[in-house]
Structure 1
Amino acid sequence: MNTRLLMVVAVIILAGITSGCVSDNNNISSNASVEDNVTVIHDEEKQVENTDNSNVAIETMENVVYQFSEDYSQSTAYAISGDTVIIILEENPTTGYSWNMTYSEGLELKEDAYLEASINADLVGAAGSHIWTFEVTERGEQNISAIYRRPWEEITGTEDHYELTIKVISESELINDSGTVTYNNLEGGFYGIVGTDDAKYDPINLPDDFRTDATRIRFTAYTRDDMTGFHMWGQIIELRTISPIL
């Protein structure tokens, strides 16, 4: 396995969690939200870094790398063509069980690898991680599905499943704006963004490093019309990239 893949696994293990104040109309409270279980990794060629382990790429880049844990099953993510999606699921081949994964034609499998939990002899037989790396190649709704089973056994319907929907939009559909981070003393207090022409945005995943009133920023974002906000202030967005205006 190459060094980049090992670094990717290390990032998802150590990544922090950022929580938001919205609910997904299709996946209400019982499902994880995008900011809880996904980490965006920088494109090494762009020299971009994620400074606080949130799911927003710091600075601007053409494409980003998203990685999703098994906790993100049954949820929806957003991307554009050229992005990379990494799925990391726990697997223990010594039990005979393995993940059988299928995916839609708009995703191209770039790498399929297994990472053992440890080389320590005391942990022989411990579960490791199965890692799939995809490139997003087509617009529209793409799907990843996996079932955890022994291949020689009949499917009973009680097996563990993994499902991820990826809505791939065109780059022209992204919000591309600059604005000012604004603290609003409503509903317990939250940070919004006031953009060009006083457009108000309610981001579900504003990184901690940018949660300072009056901070000037540039950003790109997905509109999240599928979500219902508690703040009733501005358009709900999911930030894709963000950078300070110095």
Structure 2
Amino acid sequence: MNNKFIKIIALIAILSLVILNSGCVASDEDNVQGELPTSEDNNTADEITDMVQPITSSYSENDSQNTVYAIKGDTILVKLTENPTTGYSWNLTHGDGLKLKEDNYEQQEGTEKLVGAGGFHQWTFEVVDTGEQNISAIYMRPWEEKTGAEDTFKLNVMVLEEDELIKGTGTIAYLELEGGFYGIIAEDESHYDPINLAEQFQNDGNMVEFVAYPRNDLMSFHMWGQLIEIRTITEVSE
């Protein structure tokens, strides 16, 4: 009787071990499944490949006192006329969010052998921080005192976060309002009024893909859609 009881106990113990081991295997499999990428992770990967690419923008004396827009990673070139043979040069300062990468003087092409000929001073900046940045310069002889009559240059740079940009696909539309203008009707029916739509894209009915800065600081007399400044734009084949 005792032997039979012992066998029953042993059988129960064996069955218990089998059940416990099965539970452990199921638990391990659950953990592995939990580490697989979710649909949200996959969407994030897609968003990364769709990130806005950095661009290079160039500015000269003609852009002085203007406000321009950029995002981190962009390159800004400032090119100002200079003639060091006169003793004059540009004394330039810039905001902390702009990293100076290059500072070069270039002789005007074709005047290398001309005594007293001038050229251009060019600065290359990398945009490294968001917020309002600025570039200021004064043209003077370093050993002279400022008089207030010197030529100056100032550029305000508004550096936006990438998620502040407007990105979309839409159709170019010619509106016969206020003398006529071209707008963009996005796929979601949003209306955009670009302040700098290049002539090559001013074709009624064309599909375009664009990235733009919102220009909420400006007022539009068209009263038709949101004012934007085109950053990049490409034509899309239907």
TM over 0.5: yes
Gaps of 5+ in 1: 1-59
Equivalent AA in structure 2 for residue 64 of structure 1: I
CA shift, 1:116, in A, is: 0.5
Number of residue pairs the alignment of both structures matches:
187
Runs of at least 4 residues off by over 3 Å: 118-123
- Residue number in structure 2 paired with 1:222: 213
- Residue number in structure 2 paired with 1:242: 233
Q: Which has the higher contact order (CA 8 A, sep 6+)?
A: 1
- Residue number in structure 1 paired with 2:44: none
- Post-superposition Cα deviations, 1:56-95, rounded to whole Å, max 9, x if no partner, equal xxxx961000000111111100000000000000000010
- Normalising by structure 2, we get a TM-score of 0.76
- Normalising by structure 1, we get a TM-score of 0.73
Equivalent AA in structure 1 for residue 70 of structure 2: A
Question: Which of the numbers 172, 178, 181 marks the counterpart of 2:172?
Answer: 181
CA shift, 1:124, in A, is: 2.4
Question: Which of the numbers 79, 83, 89 marks the counterpart of 1:92?
Answer: 83
1:62 maps onto 2:53 in alignment: yes
Cα contact 2:111–2:117 (8 A) shared by 1: no
Question: Which of the numbers 203, 209, 212 marks the counterpart of 2:194?
Answer: 203
Equivalent AA in structure 1 for residue 161 of structure 2: S
Q: Distance in 2 between matches of 1:102 and 1:83?
A: 19
Which deviates further from its counterpart, 112-121 or 80-89? 112-121
1:207 to 1:154, Cα distance in 2 relative to 1, 3 A: same
SS of 1:197's partner is: coil
Q: Distance in 1 between matches of 2:136 and 2:174?
A: 40
Q: Distance in 1 between matches of 2:111 and 2:94?
A: 34
Equivalent AA in structure 2 for residue 225 of structure 1: N
- Post-superposition Cα deviations, 1:27-84, rounded to whole Å, max 9, x if no partner, equal xxxxxxxxxxxxxxxxxxxxxxxxxxxxxxxxx9610000001111111000000000
1:91 to 1:199, Cα distance in 2 relative to 1, 3 A: same
Equivalent AA in structure 1 for residue 144 of structure 2: E
Equivalent AA in structure 2 for residue 227 of structure 1: L
Larger-gyration structure (1/2): 2
- Residue number in structure 2 paired with 1:73: 64
Q: Distance in 2 between matches of 1:121 and 1:169?
A: 41
- Post-superposition Cα deviations, 1:142-166, rounded to whole Å, max 9, x if no partner, equal 1101000000101111111111110
Alpha-carbon RMSD: 1.4
1:193 maps onto 2:158 in alignment: no
SS of 2:168's partner is: strand
Gaps of 5+ in 2: 1-50
Structure in which a larger fraction of residues adopt helix: 2
CA shift, 1:121, in A, is: 6.1
Cα contact 2:52–2:162 (8 A) shared by 1: no
SS of 2:188's partner is: helix
Question: Which of the numbers 146, 150, 156 marks the counterpart of 1:155?
Answer: 146
Percent identity of the aligned residues?
Answer: 54
